[in-house]
């Protein structure tokens, strides 16, 4: 119980929100808007899984938003040229992984701080994309949207695959040796090294991992609308980092899991529609999200001080 | 009536957790005196210094400076009272210039005061000239050598008009010529009425420089003597003092074939040089020496952390290269590191995870972790080593020091090593757990493991080892039998072979 207190309290907060909605605004639970909300957040969930792993490893990647935009545009261009989506998918993942590998090489190979490295790649990728594309949208053929399936089917497919990915990765993090290595390196890299683990390799791997997931997320993005915007990933990094931190992944590394990150994402994602249904001004959204993040961080701080 | 001593400590006591570092130490320092402080590793010298500089608060006892009792000594208060310390590792700001570093120590005032750059430079220039150091005040500190940085520290002490200057092994990294320069500075300080507390392991320096010497042993002062009335053998006797009081399990060694052989092994980066050593199956070879003698550095070479660049290492007669911990582990070398709380055990992780950390490849074929196998391995070792815990899921941080050490040991035993390197295995461990660990190590040797035991605890090294290698200056300077008496080992560690006996 005490070990999962943090995750459970997020779930509790979510339950409170949902119960309040059931009492005061039952219209919130209409299936179609909820499915649309879930579909919009599906790519965010996939990136959040990667971010959780990166933060558990005591690193951070703030270039995911830019990576997301770049891969979205590239994948969109390929799809627009008539490439089959089943072929675009691995290319998108590989492109993401390659961009992640660049971050990983700089962080693990040259031992540079990840916040600086990914800040640089974030700016470089975003500006590079602007330069090449001049803000132009990519128009997608009809066959691409919702994989050419009816909209509801396509939405279910996206939400379903994001959830499947979450469950698979969540289990892998606990049951694979590689997952254990991530926790060990994130807690005490030198101890891990003395135990025969190669911390630099693990660090490199988590950046490749988040890159590949960002590529997949971009793929889930381009099938959602008739046009791919070059700015589609703006602010994504903040969203996922917030979700992960609210979900109990310690920014100091070594602690947390994907289930918590998922709960954190749900909580933050519910704020906007809940406000709409409660007829509260939308301006409150960011303020409330900020308050939730602050509360989570303060809770962690208090917990840590108690431990010492 | 004699003048009040510039520093007077009475019944000073300090404990860390359960370990009593100082148990009622008396110490006087007169103005114009060089007072040497001597003792084995862990005798309490550093603790005493840290209390005098205000870094630690004593649990008991009194401090008087210039006859005035002082309570609640903080680093700032100590500085204001004229207490300055020159550390072995200078604590300067590497990216600032020498003059700025000196100014930071000496100038007082608010954050918005104006800075007199020229005055700063001149002040620094003047101080450096007074100690005869050829260092430019403009030089950035990171461009200076270690001894030069120490000279800057001394300049700071001088400039602060300190009445009490503490020097903690100031000559450890100095060349012969720089030593002479330093001695001159110390004598100047004495002439100007400054009291100097001088800590050094080099007995010849104490005879050359000090007026009186106080020997600490196990947190107690065993006496203050005028240096003129002492000789080296007498000092060593005072430092070692006690007999091997603790009962150590008897050696049942029937050493077998040579498992690990080193032939002229050296590593330039870590200062290990020309080490030749054999360790046989079933044998415990102790490595004695003072802090900085190169014992941990040698262990790190053998574990592939700082690979050797000269000489050869043979395992079972086969020449091997050890360039990474992975290679060392694969060849059957295990290293239980000194810093248990940071490197030995991941405190946040459950005991079971800690114990399997080095054996993932062997325990879990394929990538999936098998929690059942992990748990049963953990339970085996918890029973086998008698780890006191609530179960394999308890976090490493919930255990006592001795039990953490057992978990760290279990992690390495799980790799089924041929060579086990133990680095200070019982440091900060209570007496009961200590003797349990000794019994475990004996048993492991009996089972055929080749054990290399690094310990600063002289009775331990003597009580446990079949043979003792004494290290000094990065190499093994003496190979002694396990029956050697403490005086001989200490004399060898201090480099006084000729007076030993």
Kindly report, residue by residue over A105-114, the tens digit of the pLDDT.
999 999 999 9
Residue burial B183-211, b: 16+ Cβ < 10 Å; e: rest: bebbeebbeeebbbbbbbbbbebbbebbb
Q: Which residues of chain B have pLDDT under 50?
A: 1, 243-245, 498-501
Nearest CA among A296, A252, A290, A265 for reference residue A48: A265
* Neighboring chain B residues of A193 at a CB cutoff of 8 Å: 305, 325
Shortest Cα distance from A56 to chain B (angstroms)?
13
For A35-90, what is each residue's pLDDT tens digit? 999 999 999 999 999 999 999 999 999 999 999 999 999 999 999 999 999 999 99
- Interface contact A191-B342, CB threshold 8 A: yes
CA of B443 vs chain A CAs: smallest distance (Å): 23
* CA–CA distance, B34 with B123 (Å, rounded to integer): 26
**Spatial contact of B463 and B494, defined as CB atoms under 8 Å apart:** no
* CB spacing of A194 vs B325 below 8 angstroms: yes
Pairing status of strand B68-70 against strand B60-65: antiparallel
Q: What is the pLDDT of residue B2?
A: 60
User: Is residue B106 a contact partner of residue B98, using CB atoms and an 8 Å limit?
Assistant: no
Query: Positive or negative, the Cα torsion across B295, B298, B303, B306?
Result: positive
Integer Cα distance of A130 and B429 in angstroms = 62
- Architecture of domain A2-303 in this structure: Orthogonal Bundle (1.10)
Q: How many beta-carbon contacts under 8 Å exist across A and B?
A: 63
Instruction: Tell which of A180, A181, A187, A195 to mutate to test the B interface (max B CBs under 10 Å).
Output: A195
Is B279 at the interface with chain A, CB within 8 A? Answer: no
Top pLDDT among A202 and B133 is at: A202
Q: Tally Cβ neighbours within 10 Å of residue A194.
A: 26
Chain A positions touching B364 (Cβ under 8 A) are 177
**In A, which residues are within 8 Å of B324 by CB distance?**
198
* Whether the predicted pLDDT of A3 surpasses 80: no
Asked if the Cβ–Cβ distance from B360 to A255 is below 8 Å, we say: no
What are B201's two structure tokens?
Answer: 């392991």
Task: Tell me the C-alpha distance between B224 and B179, whole Å.
Answer: 25
Question: Which segments of B214-357 does DSSP mark as H helices, in order?
Answer: 232-240, 295-302, 325-330, 351-356
Region A11-17: mean pLDDT is 91
Facing residue for B325 by CB, picked from A178, A196, A254: A196
B345 in contact with A at a CB cutoff of 8 Å? yes
Under an 8 Å CB criterion, which residues of A touch B? 174-178, 180-181, 183-184, 187-188, 190-198, 254-255
Cβ within 8 Å, pair A191-B358? no
The tally of CA atoms less than 13 A away on the side-chain side of residue A263 is 24
Comparing B233 with A250, which gets the higher pLDDT? A250
- What is the overall mean pLDDT for chain A? 92
Q: Inspect the interface and report whether the beta carbons of A193 and B358 lie closer than 8 Å.
A: no
User: What is the average per-residue pLDDT within A242-254?
Assistant: 92
pLDDT value of residue A274 = 87
Q: Give ipTM to 2 decimals.
A: 0.82
Selected residue with higher pLDDT from B431 and A116: A116
Min Cα separation B401/chain A (Å): 16
Q: Which domains are present in chain B? A: 7-240 (3.40.50.300), 258-351+413-499 (3.40.50.300)
Tell me which residue in A180, A188, A194 faces B335 most closely, judged by beta carbons: A194
Distance CA B477, CA B416 (A): 31
Checking DSSP bridges between strand B419-423 and strand B450-454, what pairing results, if any? parallel
C-alpha to C-alpha distance for B423 and B147, rounded to whole angstroms: 29
Q: Say if the Cβ atoms of B326 and A196 lie within 8 Å.
A: yes
Q: Are the C-beta atoms of B170 and B182 separated by less than 8 Å?
A: yes
Give the number of other CB atoms < 10 A from CB of residue A139. Answer: 11
Question: Are A223 and A146 in contact, with CB atoms under 8 Å apart?
Answer: yes
The proportion of chain A whose per-residue pLDDT surpasses 70, expressed as a percent, equals: 98
B346 to A184: CB separation less than 8 angstroms, yes or no: yes
Domain limits of chain A?
2-303
Find all residues with CB under 8 Å of A131, minimum gap 6, and list them. none
B332 reaches A (C-beta below 8 A): no
Look at residue A260 and tell me whether its pLDDT is greater than 80: yes
**pTM tops 0.80, yes or no:** no
Report strand pairing: B195-199 vs B258-267.
Answer: unpaired
Q: Which residues of A touch B368 (CB under 8 A)?
A: 175-177
pLDDT tens digits, A149-200: 999 999 999 999 999 999 999 999 998 889 999 999 999 998 999 888 899 9
Q: Give the pLDDT of residue B244.
A: 44
Number of alpha carbons in the 13 Å side-chain half-sphere of residue B182: 27
């Amino acid at each position: 119980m005490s070990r999962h207190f943090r995750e459970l309290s997020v779930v509790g907060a979510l339950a409170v929100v949902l119960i309040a909605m059931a009492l005061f605004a039952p219209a919130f639970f209409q299936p179609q808007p909820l499915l649309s909300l879930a579909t919009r957040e599906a790519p965010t969930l996939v990136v959040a899984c990667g971010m959780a792993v990166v933060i558990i490893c005591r690193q951070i990647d703030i270039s995911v938003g830019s990576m997301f935009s770049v891969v979205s545009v590239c994948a969109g261009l390929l799809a627009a040229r008539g490439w089959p989506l089943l072929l675009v998918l691995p290319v998108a993942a590989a492109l993401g992984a390659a961009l992640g590998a660049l971050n990983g090489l700089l962080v693990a190979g040259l031992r540079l701080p990840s916040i600086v490295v990914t800040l640089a790649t974030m700016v470089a990728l975003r500006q590079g994309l602007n330069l090449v594309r001049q803000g132009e949208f990519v128009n997608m053929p009809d066959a691409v949207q919702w994989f050419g399936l009816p909209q509801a089917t396509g939405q279910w497919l996206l939400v379903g695959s994001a959830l499947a990915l979450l469950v698979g990765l969540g289990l892998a993090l606990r049951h694979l040796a590689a997952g254990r290595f991530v926790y060990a390196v994130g807690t005490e890299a030198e101890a891990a090294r003395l135990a025969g683990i190669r911390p630099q390799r693990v660090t490199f791997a988590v950046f490749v991992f988040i890159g590949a997931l960002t590529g997949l997320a971009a793929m889930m993005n381009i099938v959602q609308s008739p046009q791919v915007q070059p700015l589609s990933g703006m602010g994504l990094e903040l969203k996922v980092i917030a979700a992960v931190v609210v979900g109990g992944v310690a920014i100091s590394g070594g602690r947390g899991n994907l289930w918590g990150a998922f709960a954190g994402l749900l909580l933050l994602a519910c704020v906007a529609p809940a406000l709409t249904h409660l007829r509260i001004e939308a301006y409150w959204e960011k303020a409330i999200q900020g308050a939730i993040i602050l509360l989570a961080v303060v809770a962690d701080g208090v917990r840590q001080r108690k431990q010492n | 009536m004699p003048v009040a001593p510039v520093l007077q400590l009475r019944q000073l006591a300090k404990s860390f957790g359960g370990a009593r570092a100082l148990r009622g130490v008396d110490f006087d320092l007169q103005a114009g005196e060089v007072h040497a402080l001597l003792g084995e590793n862990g005798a309490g010298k550093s603790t005493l210094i840290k209390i005098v500089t205000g870094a630690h608060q004593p649990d008991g006892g009194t401090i008087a400076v210039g006859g005035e009792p002082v309570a609640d000594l903080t680093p700032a208060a100590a500085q204001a009272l004229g207490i300055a310390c020159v550390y072995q590792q200078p604590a300067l700001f590497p990216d600032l210039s020498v003059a700025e570093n000196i100014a930071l120590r000496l100038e007082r005032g608010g954050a918005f005061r104006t800075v007199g750059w020229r005055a700063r430079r001149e002040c620094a220039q003047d101080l450096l000239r007074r100690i005869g150091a050829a260092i430019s005040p403009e030089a950035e500190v990171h461009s200076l050598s270690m001894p030069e940085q120490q000279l800057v520290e001394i300049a700071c002490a001088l400039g602060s008009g300190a009445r009490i200057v503490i020097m903690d092994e100031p000559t450890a990294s100095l060349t012969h010529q720089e030593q002479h320069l330093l001695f001159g500075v110390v004598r100047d300080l004495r002439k100007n009425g400054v009291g100097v507390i001088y800590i050094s392991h080099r007995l010849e320096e104490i005879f050359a420089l000090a007026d009186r010497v106080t020997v600490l042993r196990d947190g107690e002062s065993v006496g203050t003597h005028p240096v003129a009335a002492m000789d080296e053998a007498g000092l060593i006797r005072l430092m070692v003092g006690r007999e091997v009081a603790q009962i150590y399990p008897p050696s049942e060694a029937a050493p077998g074939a040579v498992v690990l052989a080193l032939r002229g092994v050296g590593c330039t980066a870590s200062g290990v040089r020309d080490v030749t050593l054999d360790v046989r199956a079933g044998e415990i070879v102790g490595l004695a020496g003072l802090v900085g003698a190169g014992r941990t550095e040698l262990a790190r070479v053998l574990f592939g952390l700082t690979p050797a660049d000269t000489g050869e290492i043979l395992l079972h007669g086969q020449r091997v290269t050890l360039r990474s911990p992975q290679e060392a582990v694969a060849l059957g070398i295990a290293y239980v590191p000194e810093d248990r709380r940071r490197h030995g055990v991941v405190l946040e992780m459950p005991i079971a995870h800690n114990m399997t950390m080095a054996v993932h490849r062997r325990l879990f074929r394929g990538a999936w972790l098998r929690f059942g196998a992990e748990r049963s391995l953990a339970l085996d070792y918890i029973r086998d080593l008698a780890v006191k815990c609530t179960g394999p899921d308890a976090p490493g941080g919930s255990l006592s020091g001795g039990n953490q050490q057992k978990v760290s040991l279990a992690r390495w035993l799980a790799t089924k090593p041929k060579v086990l390197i133990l680095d200070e295995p019982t440091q900060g461990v209570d007496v009961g757990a200590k003797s349990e660990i000794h019994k475990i190590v004996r048993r492991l040797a009996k089972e055929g493991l080749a054990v290399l035991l690094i310990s600063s605890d002289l009775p331990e090294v003597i009580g446990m080892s079949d043979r003792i290698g004494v290290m000094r200056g990065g190499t093994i300077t003496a190979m002694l039998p396990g029956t050697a008496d403490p005086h001989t080992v200490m004399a060898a560690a201090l480099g006084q072979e000729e007076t030993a006996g």
